[in-house]
Chain A
Amino acid sequence: MKRVHLTGAAAMAVVALAAAGCGKAAPGDATGANGAAKPAAAPSATLSPTTPAATSDVPKATWALYREVGTLDPIQAFDYPENTVVTALCDSLTRQNPDGTLSPGLAEKSEHPDDTTLVLTVRQGVKFWDGKPLTAADVVYSLKRAADPKAGGFYPSVFSRVKSITATGADEVTVKLKQPDYWLDGELSQMAGVVYEKAFAESKGRKFGTPEGGLMCTGPYKVGGWKAGSELSVVRNDNYWDPATKAKVGEIDFKGVPDESSITTGFVTGAIDGSYPQALGTIDQLRSNPKLTVTDGPSFASDAIVVSSLKGALGDVRVRQALSMAIDRKAYIDTLYHGDAQLPRTLANPGTWGYAKDVFQADWDKLPDPTVDVAKGKQLVTDAGATGKTITLGMTSEVSTINSSATAIRSAGESIGLKVKFKAVSAQNFINFFTDPKAREGVDAFPTVNYPDYADPAAFYTTVAAPDGSQNYDGFTDPQINQALDAARTTADPAARAKLVVQAGDRIADQLPWIPMAAPSSVLITRKGLTGAPSSFVYMGGPWANLLGGA
């Protein structure tokens, strides 16, 4: 037995070295333990977003994040560690449920008396951790701060259609809009809609959300101990306003474990009780461990290729389509995700269907699975006069997920008569393709795993395909997509809105501003005896930690 473990550890070390440094990639890793191949995954629409409900209290649990928490300021939470912790500590105006649907949060009601007005009724009887009651002033302050670009937050664009936010009663906040915006309801379910105490935040100023300044929220947990760049512990809020979802774990210690072999060892030795891991190459090893439960759930994330330049060969939609139909996605999913992903019929993952699910499902059922058709691809490239042209892929060979994706694209491109060149950078610098236009110079495309902040494909599509989309890097524009997305944003009825989003999605799947690679599942690992945490992507935007408890 021991020898087996030792070789396991050695394999872990190799993987750890290969993936060191970059926590952001795809869940799953080609060089992972050579565990048994998993049976083909169930479509993510049928994956359960929940685990069996917790029935007993647990004094303490240690939860692993891929790095230590940097800030608790909700408007600066943008990545896995911060979001996972802020959702445990704070409530949003609207609550994201494990299945992606929305229900009332700190706003007991949110109503649209007309298309350009949103009236939020502030829930009564809610207290902050310090015992002060939640008021309309706190809501107005939090929203205005999130909307203010000078506050240094990442969500001002959410409020681009907002004209004014005012308290119109003791428990009423009115948001006036320049144009109708039904996406705002969803946006207020995530970090942009988190409410914290005005007096507290004002008194802390720039230090708000830091270990020194702290945080004052209403959530099921409150901050216990936290030192800069070190373990953060949260303790149960015994006065939580919603007794039905009061936390069952007395204390959760959030620990940043960047090293893949460390997190694996941590789970095996019982030092870590749970995690929503990202790129974990040793997942099969953990799956087969009898002391652990690994659960797959629906995810918001899409594995895709970003087409970052339309000036080269990929500027021609026929070349993008040709490339897309030459990719062997089945093989890619098998090696990289060990089967824990499904073929992407649309760019958005089915896990993002947070409303009017039947509309999205009908569309999905109508669309074919992407299949490999090299002959047709070749023909398209010839038609486009692109045979022999070079496309340059931004990639890093240090992260095996990105490497696999780039390699899959290369063999696809070469099979249809394109030349494919890699622009390889270090794992750390890979992120610059997203943030730095200079890094993107001369790069036609690069791989990513990307996700919206709440369960709505539109929230993702708009960043990719809208003319002002934050991830639309080279002015991709398509009248049909723009029209459908604009109409969706101003449509009140969820089913009607979903139909418009589906139109945009179908067109995006055809025009390929990004080329979808896979629709991965979300992964939850817990030690045996712990249960209740949602298995879906909700931990990034809605309550999850308070659902955790003893089996």
Chain B
Amino acid sequence: MLRFAVRRAAMLVAALLVSSFVIFGSLDLAPGDPLSTLSGGRTLPPEAVAQLRAQYHLDDPFLSRYVHWISGVLHGDLGTSIAYRESVSAVISARAGVTLDLVLFAALLIVVFGVGLGILSGLRKGWVDTSILTVTTVFAAVPSFVAAIALLSVFSVNLGWFPALGAGEGFTDSIKHLTLPAIALALSAMAIVVRVTRTTVRSEMGREHVQTAISRGIPYPQVVRRHVLRNASIPVTTVVGITITSLIALSAVVERAFSLDGLGAALVQAALSKDFAVVQGIALVFVAAFVVTNALVDLLYAFLDPRVALGSRAS
């Protein structure tokens, strides 16, 4: 367990270092000026521009800026946002909650409905299976921004069941505000999980030991629980893990469509306006979340199947 944790921590640090350098570099190569956000399309007075460039070290060479930034990070200082004139940690902490809620909500939908419907579809041949298959084929092809627009126009604009903007305050209000965004975010991933689960369950059902168990008269629910679901759980966990980590990045699109003040929306905005410190800070959070989620999935493997040694699938 200790070795696993140490290895994962080392992986995390390496991933963060590499990604921060790559992001910093690509942002530096991309055209544009961080100060343009401040101008709103008019010309800024040159003295003010010079002052701001000095304040944010914009004229320093690339490497010296990167070193300056990374040594700040090592001292717990993520830097200052140019657009928000606020420390990046404040920007992140103000927005992380919304993204976390949204991703967790969507993950819950994926696990409950994705896996649930997949099992149902795998076990019940006939019209249940066919209709689930048809619906998920459509959903799998719907990108989240299209889902967002469709959901908004049906459930917010026309029916008025759900609010169109913002994240809400308090538990019930937040649930109400985040339902549509979470569905938009989860929809296509959910459809994929349904299909993978269905196929896995189907193939487990067809295996010899399952058929033998059934023919020997072992109660059906027990066969399903012990032999089918248990064996199906590893591939299903893998695909659920991958889809959930991908939600972190996808959240940007949905947050923008529903005007949620989350990390994803902030990342897009910051990348467009070349607000280096914010892009770096949020990217670090995302990479860390990605690595941690993967570690959790690996932990789950070992828990689900004792034959899998802890961390053996990590490489």
A residues 430-478 with Cβ under 8 Å of B? 430-432, 434-436, 448-451, 463, 470-471
B45 close to A435 (CB less than 8 A): no
B164 close to A265 (CB less than 8 A): yes
Chain B neighbourhood of A529, CB < 8 A: none
Contact of B258 among A209, A262, A425 (CB under 8 A): A262
Contact of A269 among B48, B146, B164 (CB under 8 A): B164
B residues 129-162 with Cβ under 8 Å of A? 145-146, 149-150, 152-154, 156-158, 160
Cα-based distance from A21 to B270 in the complex (angstroms) = 11
B residues 18-70 with Cβ under 8 Å of A? 31-33, 35-49, 51-52, 55
Given contacts A258-B269, A269-B160, A434-B41, contact A212 B32 (CB under 8 A): no
Cα-based distance from A541 to B176 in the complex (angstroms) = 38
A272 close to B149 (CB less than 8 A): no
8 interchain residue pairs of minimum CB distance: A79-B40, A24-B41, A9-B153, A227-B94, A431-B36, A228-B86, A149-B47, A271-B165
18 contacts between A and B (CB under 8 A): A2-B158, A5-B158, A9-B150, A68-B261, A70-B38, A79-B41, A152-B55, A156-B48, A210-B86, A256-B259, A258-B269, A268-B157, A269-B157, A271-B163, A432-B31, A434-B43, A435-B49, A463-B43
Chain A neighbourhood of B3, CB < 8 A: none
A262 close to B164 (CB less than 8 A): yes
Chain A neighbourhood of B158, CB < 8 A: 1-2, 5
Minimum distance in angstroms from A484 CB to a CB of chain B: 22
Given contacts A157-B45, A230-B94, contact A261 B84 (CB under 8 A): no
Does B188 reach chain A (CB closer than 8 Å)? no
Does B175 reach chain A (CB closer than 8 Å)? no
Which residue of B is nearest A262, CB measured?
A: B259
Cα-based distance from A209 to B86 in the complex (angstroms) = 10
Chain A neighbourhood of B272, CB < 8 A: 21, 428
Minimum distance in angstroms from A525 CB to a CB of chain B: 15
Contact of B149 among A12, A24, A431 (CB under 8 A): A12
A229 close to B51 (CB less than 8 A): no
Minimum distance in angstroms from A63 CB to a CB of chain B: 12
B48 close to A428 (CB less than 8 A): no
Does B121 reach chain A (CB closer than 8 Å)? no
A152 close to B48 (CB less than 8 A): yes
Which residue of A is nearest B46, CB measured?
A: A470
Given contacts A24-B40, A152-B48, A265-B164, contact A210 B85 (CB under 8 A): yes
Does A366 reach chain B (CB closer than 8 Å)? no
Minimum distance in angstroms from B146 CB to a CB of chain A: 8
Minimum distance in angstroms from A405 CB to a CB of chain B: 13
Chain B neighbourhood of A344, CB < 8 A: none
Cα-based distance from A21 to B37 in the complex (angstroms) = 11
Does A40 reach chain B (CB closer than 8 Å)? no
Minimum distance in angstroms from A41 CB to a CB of chain B: 23
Which residue of A is nearest B261, CB measured?
A: A230
A229 close to B259 (CB less than 8 A): no
A255 close to B165 (CB less than 8 A): yes
Chain B neighbourhood of A21, CB < 8 A: 272
Minimum distance in angstroms from A8 CB to a CB of chain B: 8
Does A355 reach chain B (CB closer than 8 Å)? no
Chain B neighbourhood of A79, CB < 8 A: 38-42
Chain B neighbourhood of A71, CB < 8 A: 84-85
Tell me how many residues of B have a C-beta within 8 Å of chain A. 55
A432 close to B36 (CB less than 8 A): yes
Which residue of B is nearest A155, CB measured?
A: B45
Cα-based distance from A426 to B32 in the complex (angstroms) = 9
Number of A-B contacts (CB under 8 A): 188
Contact of B42 among A149, A255, A450 (CB under 8 A): A450
Cα-based distance from A337 to B46 in the complex (angstroms) = 33
Chain B 269-282 per-residue mask, 1 if CB under 8 angstroms from chain A, else 0: 10011000000000
Contact of B156 among A24, A73, A269, A429 (CB under 8 A): A269
Which residue of B is nearest A268, CB measured?
A: B157
B261 close to A229 (CB less than 8 A): yes
Does B95 reach chain A (CB closer than 8 Å)? yes
Does B198 reach chain A (CB closer than 8 Å)? no
Which residue of B is nearest A157, CB measured?
A: B45
A262 close to B48 (CB less than 8 A): no
Given contacts A9-B157, A70-B83, contact A435 B35 (CB under 8 A): yes
Chain A neighbourhood of B146, CB < 8 A: 13
| Interface set of A (CB-CB < 8 Å, partner B) | 1-2, 5-6, 8-10, 12-13, 21, 23-25, 67-68, 70-71, 73, 76, 78-80, 149-150, 152-157, 209-212, 227-231, 255-259, 261-262, 265-266, 268-269, 271-272, 425-426, 428-432, 434-436, 448-451, 463, 470-471
Minimum distance in angstroms from B265 CB to a CB of chain A: 8
Chain B 65-86 per-residue mask, 1 if CB under 8 angstroms from chain A, else 0: 0000000000000000101111
Minimum distance in angstroms from A394 CB to a CB of chain B: 13
Minimum distance in angstroms from B150 CB to a CB of chain A: 8
B83 close to A434 (CB less than 8 A): no
Chain B neighbourhood of A272, CB < 8 A: 165
Cα-based distance from A71 to B52 in the complex (angstroms) = 14
Chain A neighbourhood of B157, CB < 8 A: 5, 9, 265, 268-269
A9 close to B86 (CB less than 8 A): no
Which residue of A is nearest B145, CB measured?
A: A13
Does B91 reach chain A (CB closer than 8 Å)? yes
Chain B neighbourhood of A73, CB < 8 A: 85
B31 close to A425 (CB less than 8 A): yes
Given contacts A70-B84, A76-B85, A271-B165, contact A265 B35 (CB under 8 A): no
Chain A neighbourhood of B152, CB < 8 A: 9, 261, 265
Q: A258-B256, A259-B259, A262-B165 are in contact. List 5 more A-B contacts (CB 8 A).
A: A71-B84, A229-B91, A256-B259, A269-B157, A431-B33
B164 close to A271 (CB less than 8 A): yes
A259 close to B153 (CB less than 8 A): no
Chain B neighbourhood of A450, CB < 8 A: 41-42
Chain B neighbourhood of A269, CB < 8 A: 156-157, 160, 163-165
Cα-based distance from A430 to B165 in the complex (angstroms) = 29
Chain B neighbourhood of A23, CB < 8 A: 40
B residues 96-138 with Cβ under 8 Å of A? none
Cα-based distance from A6 to B256 in the complex (angstroms) = 19
Cα-based distance from A259 to B259 in the complex (angstroms) = 8
Chain A neighbourhood of B45, CB < 8 A: 154-157, 470
Chain B neighbourhood of A68, CB < 8 A: 84, 261
Cα-based distance from A298 to B21 in the complex (angstroms) = 49
Given contacts A150-B51, A449-B41, A463-B43, contact A266 B32 (CB under 8 A): no
Most buried by B among A70, A149, A152, A471: A70
Minimum distance in angstroms from A13 CB to a CB of chain B: 5
Minimum distance in angstroms from A395 CB to a CB of chain B: 13
Does B90 reach chain A (CB closer than 8 Å)? yes
Minimum distance in angstroms from A301 CB to a CB of chain B: 11
Chain A neighbourhood of B95, CB < 8 A: 229-230
Chain B neighbourhood of A5, CB < 8 A: 153, 157-158
Cα-based distance from A293 to B49 in the complex (angstroms) = 40
